[in-house]
Amino acid sequence: GTMKRFRRHGHESQRDKHKQDLYQFNKTVEHGFPHQPSALGFSPSLELLAIGTRSGAIKLYGAPGVEFMGLHDENAAVTQVHFLPNQVHAPPSVTRVTAVLAHSSGELLLLGTEGGHVFVVEVPGFRELEENNISMEDVQNRIPEDYVGRRNLECVETLHENPLNPRQVLIGYSRGLMVLWDLDRQCPIQHFLGTQQLESVWWMEDGGNILSSHSDGSYCQWTVTGEDPQTEPEKQETPYGETTLPESLVPPFLIFSGGMPRASYGDRHCISVIHSKTHEALDFTSRIIDFFVICEPSALVVLVEEELVVVDLQTEGWPVIQTPYLVPLHCSAITCSHHVSSIPLKLWERVQPWPINGGQNLAPDPPQRDLLLTGHEDGTVRFWDASGVCLYPMYKLSTAGVFLTDADPNDNMNQGSEGEWPPFRKVGCFDPYSDDPRLGIQKIHLCKYSGYLTVAGTAGQILVLELNDEAAEQTVEATVVDLLQGQEGFRWKGQACLDVREEPVLFPPGFQPCALVQCQPPAVVTAIALHSEWKLVAFGTSHGFGLYDYHQRNKILVKCTLNPSDQMALEGPLSRVKSIKKSLRQSFRRIRRSRVSMRKHHTNNTAKLQEINARLEAEALQEMELAPVQRKIEARSSDDSFTGLVRTLYFADTFVSDSSHSTPSLWAGTNGGAVFAHVLRVPSLERRAEDPVVAHAAKEIQLMHRAPVVGLVVLDGKGAPLPEPLEVAHDLARSPEMHGSHHLLVVSEEQLKLFTLPKVSSKSKLKLTAVDGSRVRRVGVAWFGSRTDEQLESSLVVLTNQGELHVISLPSIKMIVHYPCIRREDVSGIASCVFTKYGQGFYLMSPSEFERFSLSTRWVVEPRCLVEAPLQMRPKNPSSPVHRDQPDGVATEHRCVCSCVIVQNPLFLSLLKLPSLKLDDQCLKCRSSCLSSSAVVCYVSTPNVWSCSEH
């Protein structure tokens, strides 16, 4: 007994070591555009851009590939971000900070507050210089009685340094008063008695003039004379008549946000740029957070709620510059995604990224080329280079051109006509409105070896596309597939299918449609599979599945899986895209409808009616997956709704009819726990164009618990998953083992079951924690390996509705490791998850960002470097006037290490120190400080800059 125990113990520790070598869970990178941005900061000297968000995140961006972030512990919005010269430690106790000035001397920080006081803080010691604070009383002393009597000054709106004399600071109060303050003599030099609500201030570079912008849509020019007070502005202009909220920049360019007449254009988000005779109102599709201008001015950088837009002010027409990162993944809502690992160079070069900076592609050539394809509500598919820390946009395919959509050609009111006032120009690519929701992409499959791509949509459309380097004009004809197959008593109540254009369409170089299948009824396509070697595509909806030969362009097989009681499947699209509110409305309408119809038939049978109502209510909620439904495994009745919905399709060359001859086959799994297998006869290569492909039904499995089938995998004689189509032909996988028996692994929502082939007898099973209501939501096969050993082994990766990841061994189907990954309440995050072939994954952490994670010790993509702050000379006399050409207060003569200060609501100031990149928080009430995040490390992909750091 002891001997056995001892051996087993040794075996256990060896297995644990093996586990540690292969598996480790990390959330690695956040790709995409920050969700709900709330603040913008820029340091010209460091060439870093900072974005703060409403959830307390702060993200910094440098050269392409340089992205890093810090996250506050508390969930408070970041309201301002400022880069400070020199390192600083802890802010003073103040009320809410409304304006910040990082003084160019590098020795002071001025904080304007809600109460109208200005605190002066010494850096780097961060001691409050109480004798230098500027109180409201000091400011009001020399103002005429009637001016003060009429108005309370309210909060400090802006703080500005004189560009020619840093010892003079302009303080602007929200009710309109501006004061020029002398920091050395600690007294006011000049008061500017503005009478309109102040929005922002700009000090012209000549030092002699100030521009102020106001809530009535006007801006004023004031002259700095020293004569006190100045009661009237030099000049006052209202660019758009009765208007609102401008911000200003010095002529010869005048740039301001807002200013639009509220009555007519109150809902527009505009920035106007005026330069000599050119005047444009840049019209954005989401709210403007902030903007800045890069010197000279050469470019305007605008942060709006859903994207970052950079406008080139040096080129005629002021075009928008394509940025290498922060590209909004969600310009149209993301409806599905698909990941392809290790793309062959030949295909990669054909969908190569657009050149940045006039022909030079800044994306480093990756060690392994990976693509993430995202499908969108507007019928586009976007290809992203997912090889590294930065998601680079590579290629965009639009399927809308094939169809006649509901889009009204006169709808394009945004493009300004000649002489229109205000002169609007639509900018940015975020467009939340789809021309026609039926165009939405639901499923994508790309074969990286043949270059064939198949995409399927919301209205039953399946397109097969092939790569062509030339533009081509062609008509696309639809093959209609009737999945109801003339069954009586069914009437589709959902959307109509899209109309196909009858005239030829000019398709640009790239992926061009070579075949189109249209399902009837036109329900959402719920599953697809592409076999590029056999030139077949399989597709499924809530009504059944079909098989199409895109080489000969004909349908091979149609199978209706609809149960006679599946009335719900005829109600319309079961689309993830529709809003939860709409789903709730529809579901409860449906419940009411069925109650009425039930009452007619079962007036006496109250108990039966209650049971049906309860089930319908549960289904309505389950359909939307608002929350994980807690339940034990229980048999589902065969008349549950959507039992016929096809969840998964799979092609395999395996033993279906007998154990001596393998044959091509198609497998389909449904929501009602059924698995259908069809044997296929695919003609030899030389007869492929003439002889038909033939399919006939071979097997049917019905799982006892009728749980939805979410995955099917055939394991070869060695227990390894079958390779992908063409993978062996391209020498990228070994041939499958055809000696020894094959096994079929059926993954349902509730358990994994292994069957022997061809007999289909049950061999082993693994129940997934049925008691706590766990259900499988996503499943994928992945290869794992240690960092040292070349050997790879395949495992199954599973995501549950609780947001947990499980790695399961093959072929023994035993649990190896499990990790919590996504919050169980984050239903859309769980639904959006996609696995890679090498143990990584992506899920939408917000509508605009993918969180990337890795389960593998060997394949991890994460930021790994430090940004060094430039070291510059300190001036001998810090108080001498320095001409400031750097808006962040870092004059070129300074020797500095930079920090970034973050102002948060409520009452927190934080500090992101560079180069140590630590986030320090200090509560402004109790002054206690905490380190809320460990050091942040950053990945630098520019050549020759790799200073790695382990933290």
- Measured CA to CA in angstroms, residue 466 lies from 507, 533, 550 at distances of 12, 14, 11
Do 672 and 643 contact (CB within 8 A), yes or no?
yes
Number of H helices, E strands in the chain: 8, 61
Whole-angstrom distance, CA of residue 816 vs CA of residue 579: 37
Per DSSP bridges, beta strands 510-520 and 478-482 are parallel
Q: Is 226 left (phi over 0), alpha (psi -120 to 50) or beta?
A: left
Would you state the pLDDT for residue 241?
Answer: 64
Question: Which tokens hold the place of 870?
Answer: 């430039």
pLDDT at 947: 29
pLDDT at 687: 95
Low-confidence ranges of the chain (pLDDT < 70): 1-12, 85-95, 124-126, 148-151, 241-251, 353-367, 406-419, 565, 567, 572-641, 769-772, 863-951
SS3 32: strand
Angle between helices 580-601 and 606-624 (to 10 degrees): 160
pLDDT for 599 = 39
pLDDT, residue 937, reads 29
What predicted TM-score, i.e. pTM, was given to this entire model? 0.80
E-strand spans in 489-630? 499-500, 505-507, 510-520, 527-531, 536-540, 544-549, 554-560
Instruction: List, for residues 506-522, the tens digit of each pLDDT value.
Output: 999 999 999 999 999 99
For residue 150, the model assigns a pLDDT of 47
Q: Cα 19 from chain centroid?
A: 32
**Exposure of 241 in the CB half-sphere (CA atoms within 13 A):** 7
Closest to 903 (Cα-Cα) out of 23, 11, 41: 41
For tokens 């009824």, name the residue.
521
pLDDT of residue 866: 57
Q: Are strands 278-284 and 424-426 parallel, antiparallel or unpaired?
A: parallel
Give kind and range of the element (H or E) at residue 587.
helix 580-601
Q: What are 397's two structure tokens?
A: 């395919």
All structural domains of the chain, each given as residue ranges with its CATH number in brackets, are: 360-564+641-772 (2.40.128.630)
The DSSP output letter for 685 is G
In the prediction, which pLDDT does 486 show?
Answer: 75
DSSP string, 373-386: EEEETTSEEEEEE-
pLDDT at 126: 67
Question: Residue 748: its pLDDT value, please?
Answer: 95
Q: Evaluate the omega torsion of the peptide bond into residue 522 and state whether it is cis, within 30 degrees of 0.
A: no
DSSP result, 775-787: -EEEEEEEEE--S
Show Cβ contacts of residue 360 under 8 Å, excluding neighbours closer than 6 positions: none
Cα 761 to the center of its chain, rounded Å: 44
